[in-house]
Amino acid sequence: MRSIDNILFDLDGTISDSYEGITKSVSYALQKMNIDPPRDRTELRVFIGPPLRESFSRYYDMNAEQAERAVMLYRENYNARGMLDCKPYDGIVDAIKLLHEQGKRILLATSKPENAAIKIIEHFGLTEYFHFIAGATDDSSRVEKADVIEYAIASSGIDRTRAVMVGDRLHDINGAKATGLISIGVLYGYGNKRELTDAGADFIAETPHDIVEIIGN
């Protein structure tokens, strides 16, 4: 790997194990729209990572108006009780602190609304380690991962040739490729090795410690 100074992290599935808060909020939105959510909430894991509008449209055949209402209902529950129903993955806090100690500039690039992302990073006690937090806008004008990454790059003035995107889903890898970044796909989140390699991940990390090792080498 070329020398890396800037590390962009995805949030859900990469830093935050957000299964409980997200799947409960998806179930809430579906119920409010008179759609029976799956009895096995693990089926809703597919909602973790991609933009919500995309997932409601894809998995529940919603049109644009319906998907917009579903997102509104989701946020009604998520903002009230689901946002902080999450925890950092084992080892990821230590990895972030170590990279920070090594002089790396750490950024967040998430499809989650920016205000929510800021609160979660604060909840984990990691604010001091992040140079910049980039998230989606509430009005959907910035929601695709490539747009979020580009926003982070422009706002921070970083050299994209010395930056890497770390994430657990194909959206993170595709966003990195679209913006000219190297990518690391992680296997401890909600994606899998085939998804990440098919998307073209440059490196694969099984654990948070592997992220540090890959960047160091």
> Strand ranges (DSSP E) for the chain?
6-9, 16-17, 87-88, 105-113, 132-136, 163-167, 182-186, 203-205
| 85 among known catalytic residues | no
Amino acid at 122: E
3-state secondary structure of 126: coil
* 204 within 8 A of 193, measured Cβ to Cβ: yes
| Closest by Cα among 120, 91, 121 to 106 | 121
DSSP 122-170: HHTT-GGG-SEEEEE-TTSSS-SHHHHHHHHHHHHT--GGGEEEEESSH
Beta partners for residue 16, in sequence order:
12, 88
Catalytic residue chosen out of the listed positions 10, 17, 147, 210: 10
Token code pair at residue 2: 């070329």
Q: Is the separation of the CB atoms in 53 and 26 below 8 Å? A: no
Closest CA to 196 of 188, 208, 187: 187
Using alpha carbons only, give the angle 208, 173, 100 rounded to the nearest 5 degrees. 40
Catalytic residue ranges: 10
